[in-house]
Each structure stands twice: as structure tokens, then as C-alpha cells.
Amino acid sequence: MKIQVRDVPPRSVWALQQAGIHPLLAQLYAARGVHTADELDDGLARLLPPSSLLGVQQAAQLLADAMAAGKKICVVADYDCDGATACAVALRGLKLLGARDICYLVPDRVTDGYGLTPPIAERVKAGGADVLVTVDNGIASIEGVARARALGMQVLVTDHHLPALKDGEVVLPEADVIVNPNQPACTFESKSIAGVGVMFYVLLALRAELRTRGAFDAANQPKLDALLPLVALGTVADVVKLDANNRRLVAQGLRRIRAGHMPAGVAGLFKAAGRQAPVATTFDFAFALGPRINAAGRLSDMTLGIECLLTDDAARADELAQMLDGINRERRDIEAGMREQAQLAADAMIDEDEAPPPAIAIFDPEFHEGVVGIVASRIKDRLHRPTFVFAASQADGKEHELKGSGRSIPGFHLRDALDLVTKRHPGVLLRFGGHAMAAGCTIAEENFELFEQALQQVAHEWLDAATLTRRMDTDGPLAPEYRRADLVDTLHKEVWGQGFAAPTFSEEVEVVSQRLVGEKHLALKLKHQGQPVDGIWFGHTEALPARVVLAFRLDADEWQGVKRVRFLVEGAEF
């Protein structure tokens, strides 16, 4: 572990402080590329205009025409939290704007696989749909879109993933309309917007189109801001980069949740997770609500998650949220066993005197395909290597296929690596797709070792010693006057996440005492700049030396009504 301190441009700090920003926040914002207070304006008026999103006007016209003609619209969703929230936003938003005949379908992870496939298109048509709208998928569904159109349906693709490649060239599905900031020629600045954000923008454009058609005027138009809690949840849960536009969407959603304005399902999920909506944070989205929705798509049926987000019945929402909580507990149990097995397999690959190989690929016949992505993430975090974890397909007729999910490290574009593997070894990858940091693929079981060797060869070529060294960016020493519970609350209220990291400080401290709690966490008594403070390092069991450089986040621990600051340790440099 190499702990390094972020650069802090002094001019930016000064400008932010002059605008009335708290000195600590000014330092943190400046280190994350914010130069003026104007960039922190999270008002809805500051959102990027829908008009800059390629295809959004045509999408609005298509939907407005369909609604006017009374056509049936079917939304085809993805089975993760972004897909579930995007589906709920689509259905809630279209109904708000006047759609009368609308339904949804979400593929099953095991039996259907990912995206709009020809069989899914046929099921949508059999349900009587005239218009098929994808959310958080579809950009790579060449065959599925073609089948849907051949069946006589109009197809609107809304997505944020990278398009498919063929011989190094982008290939787009022949949909009636595509809305995706990552398609060629789209000038929309927020390339990191989540699938739920793309659908929200389509609804904004549709509302504007309906205004021009006289359906309503600006004074009495439907209010789409009620959808922002769902947009915020899906955005954070999908771990997209929190650029300025995404931060505005998340901030607006959080503001409404804290004020008690949210769908019944979101309120139910807060209760099921034991979290408090009035003090909701991005951490709640990432580590409490998001995993409970995702668990449905991993182990059961994402319809449960979507229904939870769609219902307006508080009792029904609570019931569904409790069901999702139970599924998530089961997911955690499965994950724990798989992680232990995967770690043993990874350890077997590593010689005690040598570093791990440049990339890791693990398969076990007992693994559950719904949890391979989470396990890959855990192994990647522990070994700091691009990691793929595979499970045997549970789909009928595909028992000899392996479904893999990968997670990467900075400097190794996982989707591009898979593209290179398939160029060098045609036929090894039956299907693949994804992003720089996360990707998925399907291979024949007999080709696992060939895939492993091919992936390691690409990693050997692309990664050097510097890239393979784990680095943790921090905000440097914490001034003692900022070690206050009220400042902890201030920091927690801000929008932090991927690409806009939560504050992590680092400096040398004295370890006064340490003990294991719960057999897997290290509880610490520390001296920070001469003053006592408690610390906890979750998931760490190895003892620390008497003096050590720690990277830590601030937290407030409440005991008998008194809040005390404690350090949540993230890493150590010996």
C-alpha cells in the first residue's frame, strides 16, 4: 500500500473560501477539481440541457406519438439497481405524463441473460406491445432490436453502456431511436450518466414535447422532480463517476429524501436497512439500499425490486422491502462462502516469495453466477489485480458454459482487454461487454485455462510495476480543530462517490492499544496529534506497530446520547 496525498491548488482553495465555503470543505473540493463556488451550485436549473443529448428529441416525439395513438408501451429493464430504478422512473414518469397502456419486463439473469435478446423481443410482442423501450441496456443488442422491429414494434433504446465493436468499429443496433451519451456524435458532456439518468432526461424532453403540443402549459405541467430520489439511488448504486451533472442529480434526490418526499419503496428500504431517511447519505445508497435491490436480480427475480419501487402502498412497500432484505442476507451468506473458496484458489496461485500474477481468473463448480461480480470485486480489492470470477451457467442447455464477471484496477480497461483477447483467440469469448472497471463474459468451460492465460498475457503487456502497486489517494493530515462531531455531520451530507471520493485523511498516529472484535475487525485506541481517539478497521485482523501512518475516514459514534469522533481506517503504510 502506497499512501499519497492529493494536490490541493491554493488558488482554488482561496476562491472557494472567499465565496463562504468552510475551509475544510474548500480544501476537499479543490483537491477534487472544483475551482469556483459556482461549480457547487446543485440547482435543477444548472443541469445539462436535454437538447444536447443526441436522439432525445426524436425519442420524445416517438413517445408522444405513441401516447396520442393509444399504443401499448413495454419497458425492458436490466436486472441491477440502475436498471430497476430506470424502469421505475420510466413507468412512473410516463404515467405522470399521460401514458395509459404501459408495462415492463425484466430478463432473468440465469435463464435470459443480459439485454434485449430475440426471445425477450418475442415475449414483449406476445404481450401486445407496439413500442419497446429499453432502459440501462440495448446499445449492444443488435439481434434483439432487429427481431423486435421485424415483429412490427418500434424500438427506443435508452442506455449508457459502450456500444458493441466489430473489427474495431462501433456497431449500433438498428433501433428507431437511440439515446445514449456514449454513442458516436453525441455531444452530451456527462458521459458518465447512469441508465436511470438517461431515462430521466428522455422524460424531460417528452414533457417539453407535450407542452409544445398543448397537452399542458408550464404552470400546470406534471412535476418530474418526484422521480429524483430514484435517479439518485440508481446513479450512486451503479458506481458511475460523480461528475458535476451526476452530483446535481444525486444532491436533488437526497434533498427530497431528507425532507420525507420519496416513493414508498425507498422509505421501506431505509427501514429494512435500519437507516434514517432524514439524514440520508450517498453511503446509504451504495451500501444499504442498492445492495438490497441488486440482491433480487442476483438470486431471485428483479421484479420484486421494481415492484417495491413502483408501489404507492406503504404496507406493500414495507413487505417487499423486507423480502429484499431477506434475499440480501442470503446473498451475503453465499458470497461469504464463495469469497473464502475464491481466496483459497487465489492464494494457491501465489508463491510466498512472489507477487500475484498480473491478472486473476477463478472458477469453481460450486459458485453461484449471481454473486460472481461481488466476489471478483473483493478479490480485486485484496490483491490489487484485475480479477474474473466464473460460475457454471444455470440456464437449460448451457451447462457447459461459464459466466464470468470481472473487476479491474486503474490503468487496465477491462472491456478493451476482452476485445483484445477475442481478437487473438477467436471463439474463446462467446459473449462479452462492459466498461473499463467492470465487465462480463461467457466462455465454454473447456476454454477456461486458455482464457486465463490470454487475460494474463494482456495484463503482462499493459501493466507495469507502478500500476500494480496499490495506491490510496488521501487528503493528508487532519487539523485537530476539525476532529469534531458537527463537522462529521457536515461531511456526511455532501455528495461523495465514484470519481468524487469521500474525504480520507492520512498521517502518523500512535497505537495505544488494539484488540479484535467480532473475530474480524480491529478496534483501536489511538493518539492523534497527542489527543486520544478511537478507531476501527473493519475486515482487518493483523496487528499494527506502535506508530503507523493510517489512512482514515471520519465517523461519529454515539454512546449514551453523546457523539464522539472516531476514525474508520481504510489502509496503513508501514
- Residue 510: what residue type? E
Q: Do 448 and 493 reside in the same domain of the chain? A: no
Instruction: Look at residue 5 and tell me if it is in a domain.
Output: no
| Residue 496 shares a structural domain with residue 389 | no
Residues 305 and 383 in one domain: no
One domain, residues 105 and 144: yes
Burial-class residue 520 by CB neighbours within 10 Å (0-12, 13-18, 19+).
exposed
Task: Please check whether residues 480 and 453 belong to one and the same domain.
Answer: no
Q: Is residue 30 part of a domain?
A: no
Distance of alpha carbon 177 from alpha carbon 12, whole angstroms: 42
The pTM of the full predicted model, rounded to 2 decimals, is 0.93
Residue 211 pLDDT = 97
CA distances from 528 to 481, 487, 507, 573 (A): 12, 17, 9, 16
Bridge partner residues of 551 (DSSP): 506, 571
Distance CA 255, CA 430 (A): 44
- CA distances, 132 to each of 76, 148, 175, 306, 512 (Å): 7, 8, 10, 18, 62
Q: How far is CA 78 from CA 166, 293, 562, in A?
A: 23, 12, 44
- Whether 369 is in a domain gets the answer yes
Q: What is the pLDDT of residue 398?
A: 86
Closest CA to 159 of 238, 86, 232, 52: 86
What is the domain range of residue 174?
45-327
Give strand pairing partners of 444. 401
Q: Which pLDDT value is given to residue 557?
A: 84
Domain CATH for 67: 3.90.1640.30
Any idea what the CATH number is for the domain that residue 373 is in? Answer: 3.10.310.30
Is residue 101 a part of any domain in this protein? yes
Residue 83 near residue 302, CB atoms below 8 Å: yes
CATH number of the CATH domain containing 507: 2.40.50.460
Domain membership flag for residue 29 = no
Spans in the chain with pLDDT lower than 70: 351-353
Do 435 and 546 lie in a common domain?
no
Last residue of a domain, which of 327, 360, 392? Answer: 327
Residue 10 lies in a domain: no
Three-class DSSP category at 135: strand
Element (DSSP H or E) covering residue 265: helix 264-273
For residue 366, tell me if it sits in a domain: yes
What span, in angstroms and rounded, lies between the C-alpha atoms of 243 and 86?
Answer: 19
Are residues 442 and 515 both part of a single domain?
no
Are both 153 and 269 inside the same structural domain?
yes
138 and 212 belong to one structural domain: yes
Task: Identify whether residues 279 and 394 lie together within a single domain.
Answer: no
Task: Determine which helix (DSSP H) or strand (DSSP E) holds 420, and give its type and residue range.
Answer: helix 414-424
Verify that 97 and 149 share a domain, yes or no: yes
| Domain-ending residue, one of 290, 305, 327 | 327
Which of 273, 304, 327 finishes a domain? 327
Domain count along the chain = 3
Residue 354's pLDDT is what?
73
206 and 92 part of one domain: yes
